[in-house]
Amino acid sequence: MRRGWCWVGAGLAVVTLSIIIAVPLSLMRATGDFKSTFITKCERFPGKSARHDCLGIWQAFEQAYVGKDPCQVPVESYDHLLTTSPFEPACNRTMFWSKTKDLVHEFTMHRDCFLTAEDTLLGFILDELTWCGKEGSKETFTADCPGWTTCVHNPVRSFWKRVSAAFADVACGDVTSMLNGSITTPFSSTSIFATIEVKRLKSPNVKSLNVVLTTNANAVTNCDNASLKDLQRELDRGINYSCKEVNETKIKRCISDPSIPCRACW
């Protein structure tokens, strides 16, 4: 395309026209690519012997946003999807996180001690993907979609808020959260963990919340951090709270050595 800009006269007009045509065509092709990715990841979802109705899940998923203004897809739009593919309780294995995504998912990828929202079927399929619809169109687009902070009710943001709520709703037993000790506010009042997940943890289904505060050479906080005191106050009465500072080196050692019992990882 860069070489095209060197053309002159009629050649420049052709290049300009090709740009105008190419953008919408590439967006239209995105539907098939995205659907194929969705179905393929659904069929390859690990850890389950039972087969999923991946086409049915896809159809419930696209109903949430197809044909809609990409800034007008509220959280409730995904209610039907969550009915089609509900979460199952993972008592004593539920793991929440905030600003520790890479480390948490490296851990859950190699160890079966814990389960994050991204390790569930829907989370596994849609993690790191972008999608949206447009008014008057039956297509799914993956380009020119609003960013996470562009508008409140965009399809991706609403999906993860709805999934986070559903995941927290089925939490039971001893629950764990991995937070980042290298930032000044490990429990941010604007995070999904604070605004959605913590608020939906309810006693007696949830017995305890155990915070793993990751530390390294850049650690700036500890378990006495003021934001963690806020977390304790936010917890439903009856849920026990604990916090432990754990060096990332120890966690990575558990990742690389499966002979280490999960309980010894922190």
Q: What is the CATH number of the domain that holds 194?
A: 1.20.82.10
Question: Residues 78-83: what's their mean pLDDT?
Answer: 98
Q: Could you tell me if residue 129 is inside a domain?
A: yes
Instruction: Check residue 51 and give its pLDDT.
Output: 78
Q: Could you tell me if residue 87 is inside a domain?
A: yes
Q: Could you tell me if residue 256 is inside a domain?
A: yes
Instruction: Check residue 254 and give its pLDDT.
Output: 96
Q: Could you tell me if residue 2 is inside a domain?
A: no
Q: Could you tell me if residue 21 is inside a domain?
A: yes
Instruction: Judge whether 91 counts as a catalytic residue.
Output: yes
pLDDT > 70 fraction of the chain, expressed in percent and rounded: 86
Q: Could you tell me if residue 26 is inside a domain?
A: yes
Q: Could you tell me if residue 3 is inside a domain?
A: no
Q: How many helices (H) and strands (E) does the chain have?
A: 10, 4
Condensed to tens digits (0 to 9), the pLDDT of residues 91-100 reads 999 999 999 9
User: Angle CA(230)–CA(224)–CA(187) in degrees, nearest 5?
Assistant: 40
Mean pLDDT of the chain: 89
pTM: 0.85
The DSSP string of 83-125 is HHSPPPP-TTTBEEEES-HHHHHHHHHH--S-B-GGGSHHHHH
What's the domain range around 103?
Answer: 9-264
Instruction: Check residue 50 and give its pLDDT.
Output: 60
pLDDT at 179 over 80: yes
* Residue 20 confidence class, pLDDT cut points 50, 70, 90: very low
Instruction: Check residue 106 and give its pLDDT.
Output: 97
Question: Residues 233-247: what's their mean pLDDT?
Answer: 97
Instruction: Judge whether 262 counts as a catalytic residue.
Output: no
Q: Is the distance from CB of 118 to CB of 124 less than 8 angstroms?
A: yes
Residue entry with tokens 């995070």: 191
Instruction: Check residue 46 and give its pLDDT.
Output: 84
Question: How many domains are there within the chain?
Answer: 1
* Residue 32 confidence class, pLDDT cut points 50, 70, 90: low
Q: Please state, in angstroms and rounded to a whole number, the distance separating the CA atoms of residues 123 and 163.
A: 8
| Cβ atoms < 10 Å from Cβ of 75 | 19
Q: Please state, in angstroms and rounded to a whole number, the distance separating the CA atoms of residues 88 and 167.
A: 8
pLDDT at 147 over 70: yes
DSSP H/E element including 248:
helix 248-256
Q: Which of 91, 113, 151, 262 is catalytic?
A: 91
Write out the two tokens for 44.
Answer: 């390859």
Report which of residues 155 and 6 the model is more confident about: 155
Give the highest mean pLDDT range of 5-19, 28-42, 206-220: 206-220
* Residue 218 confidence class, pLDDT cut points 50, 70, 90: confident
Write out the two tokens for 155.
Answer: 């399809």
Residue entry with tokens 């943890």: 201
Q: How far apart are the first and last CA of the chain?
A: 54
Q: Which of 54, 132, 145, 172 is catalytic?
A: 172
**Per-residue DSSP letter, 249:** H
Q: Could you tell me if residue 4 is inside a domain?
A: no
Q: Is the distance from CB of 154 to CB of 70 less than 8 angstroms?
A: yes
